[in-house]
C-alpha cells in the first residue's frame, strides 16, 4: 500500500476552529481532531508514502473539512461556505482517475450534497447518510479526579435530551429507577466525568449523526458504553470485537428490561477494563489510523 499526499493550499488546512466542541477540546492545545491526527500520523509513517503520484495506490486528500465547514460562512452567515473552492479541489484531484480518500469528522457527503464527490472514499467520524467508512469520533482526554468515586449507578447519562425523541424515550423508560440516572443539562466536565465514573454503564444515544463523543469518552474512562442507535456505526468491526467491551441497542423502548439482564457488576467491571484497553490501543489518537489502511486494502 503506497499513498500520495495531495498538496493543498493553506486555506484548506485552517490552523484553528472558530467553534470548538466538545468542551474539553477548548483547553489549550486541544483544538485537534481526527482530520489533523491522520495527517500527523501518515507523515510519521514514511514507508507508506511516495513522492510521485504515479507510484501511488491511493491519493490522500488532506483537507480539514470540519474546520472549513465551521470557519467559512455562506452568504447568509451560516456555516458551510466556501463550497465553490471545495468543489474545484475535489474535481481537480478526481481528474487523475485514481482512488482518492479523505478524512472527515462530520459527514461532508451530507453537509455538502451539491458537490460532485465522484468515487472519493470518505472516512467519517459522525456519519449521517449511507456513504462513507466509519472511524471513531474522538476528543481530548478528560482530567481524572484525584480520587476515583465508587460506583453508584448501573447506568447514567447527562447531556442534551433534546434530539429526535430517542433520548427522551430513554429518559422515560428509566424514570423511577433508583439505579439509573438520566439528566438533561451540562454542569461541566468535572460533573460529567464523576457521574460516568460512578456508573457501570454509560448510556450513549446517538445525536443528529450516528455516533457520539460520549461512546469513546466512556471507553477512555474505563466505563462500558451502551450505544443506542438505529444503525451500528462502531468502526473497524473486522478487527475489533465490540461485543466484549460495549453494548448496542437499536432503540430505547426496551432499555429497562435490557439493563435488568445486565445487572452483573463483576462482568461489567471487566468489560469496562476491556473497553479502556481497546480505546487506548486501537482507537485513541495515533492508534486508529492503522485500521484505515486495512480498510483501504479491502477496497
What pLDDT shows up at residue 166?
83
**Residue-level pLDDT at 165:** 79
pLDDT band at 139 (very low <50, low <70, confident <90, very high): very high
Q: What is the largest CA-CA distance in the chain?
A: 64
Distance from CA of residue 100 to its chain's centroid? 21
Beta bridge partners of 58: 3
Average the pLDDT over 121-148 and give the result.
Answer: 96
Cell output for 193: 466525568
Predicted local confidence at residue 288, as pLDDT: 98
In eight-state DSSP terms, residue 170 is H
Domain spanning 153-283: CATH superfamily:
Glycogen Phosphorylase B; (3.40.50.2000)
Q: What is the pLDDT of residue 207?
A: 84
* pLDDT at site 162: 84
User: How many C-beta atoms lie closer than 10 Å to residue 276's C-beta?
Assistant: 18
The residues that bridge with 124 in the sheet, in sequence order, are 104, 134
1-25: average pLDDT: 97
The pTM of the full predicted model, rounded to 2 decimals, is: 0.95
Whether 187 shows a pLDDT value over 90: the answer reads no
> How much is the average pLDDT of 221-228?
98
Q: pLDDT at residue 219 above 90?
A: yes
DSSP letters of 267-281? HHHHHHHHHHHHIII
Decide if pLDDT at 229 tops 80.
yes
**Given this model, what pLDDT does residue 19 score?**
96
Residue 164: predicted pLDDT: 72
Q: What is the pLDDT of residue 133?
A: 98
Share of the chain above pLDDT 90, in %: 96
* DSSP string covering 80-120: ---HHHHHHHHHHHHTT-S-EEEEESS-HHHH-TTS--TT-
Please compute the mean of the pLDDT values over residues 163-167 and round it to a whole number: 80
Report how far apart the first and last C-alpha atoms of the chain are (Å, whole number): 12
pLDDT at 147: 95
pLDDT at 185: 87
Mean pLDDT value across the chain = 96
Q: Is residue 265 scored above 90 in pLDDT?
A: yes
Measure the CA–CA gap between 187 and 64, rounded to whole angstroms.
31
Determine how many CB atoms are found less than 10 A away from the CB of residue 150.
7
pLDDT of residue 11: 96
Residues of the chain with CATH 3.40.50.2000: 153-283
The whole-number average pLDDT for the span 75-80 is 96
Mean pLDDT of the 151-169 span:
91
Q: What is residue 208's predicted lDDT score, i.e. its pLDDT?
A: 84
26-58 pLDDT per residue, tens: 999 999 999 999 999 999 999 999 999 999 999
Please say if the pLDDT value at position 100 is more than 80.
Answer: yes
Amino acid at each position: 500500500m503506497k499513498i500520495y499526499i495531495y498538496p493543498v493550499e493553506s486555506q484548506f488546512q485552517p490552523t484553528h476552529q472558530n467553534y470548538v466542541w466538545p468542551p474539553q477540546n477548548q483547553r489549550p492545545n486541544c483544538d485537534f481532531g481526527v482530520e489533523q491526527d491522520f495527517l500527523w500520523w501518515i507523515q510519521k509513517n514514511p514507508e507508506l508514502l511516495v513522492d510521485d503520484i504515479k507510484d501511488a495506490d491511493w491519493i490522500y486528500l488532506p483537507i480539514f473539512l470540519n474546520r472549513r465547514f465551521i470557519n467559512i460562512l455562506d452568504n447568509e452567515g451560516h456555516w458551510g461556505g466556501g463550497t465553490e473552492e471545495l468543489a474545484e479541489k475535489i474535481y481537480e484531484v478526481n481528474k487523475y482517475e485514481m482512488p482518492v480518500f479523505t478524512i472527515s469528522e462530520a459527514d461532508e457527503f451530507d453537509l455538502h450534497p451539491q458537490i460532485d464527490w465522484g468515487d472519493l472514499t470518505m472516512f467519517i467520524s459522525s456519519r449521517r447518510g449511507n456513504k462513507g467508512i466509519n472511524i471513531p469520533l474522538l476528543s481530548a482526554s478528560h482530567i481524572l479526579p484525584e480520587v476515583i468515586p465508587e460506583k453508584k449507578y448501573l447506568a447514567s447519562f447527562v447531556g442534551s435530551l433534546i434530539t429526535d425523541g430517542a433520548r427522551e424515550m430513554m429518559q422515560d423508560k428509566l424514570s423511577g429507577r433508583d439505579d439509573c440516572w438520566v439528566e438533561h443539562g451540562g454542569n461541566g466536565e468535572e460533573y460529567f466525568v464523576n457521574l460516568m465514573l460512578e456508573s457501570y454503564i454509560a448510556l450513549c444515544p446517538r445525536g443528529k449523526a450516528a455516533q457520539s463523543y460520549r461512546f469513546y469518552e466512556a471507553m477512555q474512562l474505563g466505563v462500558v458504553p451502551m450505544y443506542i442507535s438505529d444503525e451500528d456505526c462502531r468502526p473497524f468491526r473486522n478487527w475489533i470485537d465490540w461485543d466484549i467491551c460495549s453494548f448496542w441497542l437499536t432503540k430505547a423502548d426496551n432499555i429497562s428490561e435490557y439493563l435488568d439482564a445486565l445487572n452483573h457488576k463483576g462482568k461489567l467491571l471487566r468489560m469496562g477494563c476491556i473497553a479502556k484497553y481497546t480505546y487506548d490501543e486501537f482507537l485513541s489518537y495515533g492508534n486508529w489510523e492503522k485500521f484505515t489502511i486495512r480498510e483501504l486494502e479491502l477496497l
